[in-house]
Structure 1
Amino acid sequence: MSYTAWMLITAGLVGLSCGLVGVFLILRKTAMMADAISHTVLLGIVLAFMVTGELVGIHMLIGALLAGWLTAFLVQWFQTRGVQQEASIGIVFTTLFAIGVILISTSIGNAHLDIRHALMGEITFVPFHRWNVPMIGEVPSATLMLFVILIVVIAAITLFYKEWKITSFDPALAASLGIPVLVMHYAFMGLLSLVTVASFDAVGAILVVAMLITPAATAYLWTDKLHVMLWLSGILGVVASLLGYAVALWLDTSISASMAFTTGLLFLISFFVSPRHGLVSKWRVKAYS
């Protein structure tokens, strides 16, 4: 498969996996947890590297997962003690991210693990690092990881669809029905952590926030049905990724930044023209009322 094809497949996998997970972030009104976890998983990655000395492997996902859970736990802990949610998120993610940056600067040394790569990502480097998969051949490691994570995301949403749906819309009702709300919360935060770290090589920690939030927010403008919103958000994520690549070629600029820009452009268009929540539709209703 060609170099360009692997980049496009990787970009599509990022858009699809982030789009699916982002729906529940929007519905839970915890979109900024994506920003928090996208930064704090850096600490988990750094600690995993310090323990193993390897930049590639399952230990990176484990480190990111633990960091994501730690972030969710600390935010929840501060909230239960009277600190506002926004303040809790800001305090936790800046502190844990700062620790990760300090460890990179003081303890990592000459390893190929730098802040710019973790934050910004570079999808053009993805095809260079490959694993040999039986019966398939050489596959870029980032692409393979994203594919596995996508399967995990689809399986998790399928298994916990009812629980996450109820806890997203009405946590009190979920608790009264015997659904372990806190367990479902931490399970979702773990899934978010996995998606975030798997997307590092493609779009980096900062721009993955755009892929997690904007396609889901765009889909929310078009439908009020959860299952439709999931499909639409995933499709929008893929479309934004592919269009972003085309924009990057056209302007000769950063691919990951162009992908994030395209998500914002699709949201802006939908914000005006979506049939129910768009500004044009609202203006028409007011004009005829």
Structure 2
Amino acid sequence: MTYTAWIIITASLVGLSCGLIGVFLVLRKMAMMSDAISHTVLLGIVVAYLMTRELSGPHMLIGAILAGLLTAFLVQWLHNLDLELHASMGIVFTTLFAIGVILISTSIGNAHLDIQHALMGEITFVPFHTMELPIVGAVPVTTVMLAVVLLIVVITIIVFYKEWKITSFDPALAASLGIPIVFMHYLFMSLVSITTVAAFDAVGAIMVVAMLITPAASAYLWTDKLSIMLLLSSSFGVISAIIGYYIAAWIDTSISGSMAFATGIIFIISFLLSPTHGFLSRSLGKQRNQFS
């Protein structure tokens, strides 16, 4: 398979996973949690490196996931102390991210960990780090990991679809039905952390946030049905990955940045043209009501 194909496939896997998870983040009004976790995983990566002095291995993934769970726990803890949710997110993510930056600056030295890498990722190098798989042959390691994460995301959503649907729309009803709200919350945050960590190294924090929020927000404008929203959001993620790559190739710029930009283009189109919640349809509806 060609270099371009592997980059597009890898980015599309990010778009699929983040698009599915993002729907529940938007519905739960926790969209900025993706921003918080995508930044604070840096602290987990840095701490894992300081403990092992190795830049690859499962310890990096474990450290990043633990940092994501720590973020979710601290945000919920502060929120339970009557601090506004978004303020809690802002406090936790800026503090933990700042600690990660300070550790990089003071303790990492010449290791290949830097702020530019954290923000923009290195998707251009993904096709060069491969592993051999039966039948398929040489496949980029990051692509394999993202495919596994997508499978985990899809299976988890299918298994807990009813519980997450109820807890997202009506937590009080969920509690009355005996659904373990706290467990479902942290299970969901674990999934957000795993998805973010898997995409973090390849595409960076900026694209992770864009893929988690913008496709889901765009899908929200087109439908009120959760199943359709999940399909649209994941589709928008893939379309953004493809369009973004060719924009980057056209003007010779950052691939991840262009893909994030493409999610914004799709949102603008959705905001203007959505038949239900779009700006133009609402404006025309108001005009009809005035003349009726």
Per the alignment, residue 30 of structure 1 pairs with 30
24-33 or 245-254, which deviates more: 245-254
SS at match of 1:107: helix
> Hey, what's the Cα distance between the residues in 1 that align with 2:170 and 2:64?
29
Distance between the aligned counterparts of 1:202 and 1:7, measured in 2? 10
Q: How does 1:213-228 map to 2 (within 5 A)?
A: 213-228=213-228
Compute the displacement of 1:279 (Å). Answer: 1.0
Task: Return the alpha-carbon distance in structure 2 between the equivalents of residues 132 and 52 of structure 1.
Answer: 26
Alignment check: 8 A CA contact 1:39 1:206 kept: no
TM-score normalised per structure 1? 0.97
1:122 deviates by: 2.4
TM-score w.r.t. length of structure 2? 0.96
- The answer to whether the 8 Å contact 1:14/1:202 transfers is no
- Aligned pair 1:94/2:94, yes or no? yes
2:187 corresponds in structure 1 to 187
Unaligned runs of 5+ in 2: none
**1:119-268 pair list within 5 angstroms:** 119-268=119-268
The percentage of aligned residue pairs carrying the same residue is 69
Check whether the contact 2:206–2:257 (CA below 8 A) recurs between aligned residues. no
- Aligned counterpart, 1:12: 12
SS of corresponding position for 2:9: helix
1:41 Cα deviation (Å)? 0.7
**Following TM superposition, by how much is the alpha carbon of 1:284 offset from its aligned partner in structure 2, in angstroms?**
1.4
Q: Cα distance, 1:52 vs. partner?
A: 2.6
Measured in 1, the distance between the counterparts of 2:29 and 2:112 equals: 36
CA distance in 2, matches of 1:194, 1:243: 26
Residues 122 and 255 in structure 1, CA contact (< 8 A), matched pair in contact too: no
1:116 matched residue in structure 2: 116
- Measure the CA separation in 1 of the matches of 2:237 and 2:169: 23
Equivalents in 1 of 2:55, 2:157: separation in Å?
29
Shift of 1:169: 0.6
Distance, in Å, in 2 between the alignment partners of 1:109 and 1:257 is 27
Compute the displacement of 1:159 (Å). 1.0
Bigger Cα displacement from structure 2, 40-49 vs 54-63: 54-63
- SS of 1:199's equivalent in the other structure is helix
1:166 is displaced (CA, Å) by 0.7
Tell me the alpha carbon deviations over residues 172-200 of structure 1, each in whole angstroms, 9 at most, x when there is no partner.
Answer: 11111111111111111111111111112
The question of whether the paired residues in 2 share the 8 Å contact of 1:126 and 1:201 is answered with no
Instruction: Tell me the distance in 2 between the aligned counterparts of 1:261 and 1:173.
Output: 38
Give the number of equivalent residue pairs: 289
1-structure distance, mates of 2:150, 2:56: 18
Between the aligned partners of 2:150 and 2:134, the Cα distance in structure 1 is: 20
The one-letter amino acid of 1:131's match is M
Q: Which amino acid aligns with 1:213?
A: I
Deviation at 1:132, TM superposition (A): 2.2
Q: Which stretch of structure 1 is more off in the superposition, 168-177 or 202-211?
A: 202-211
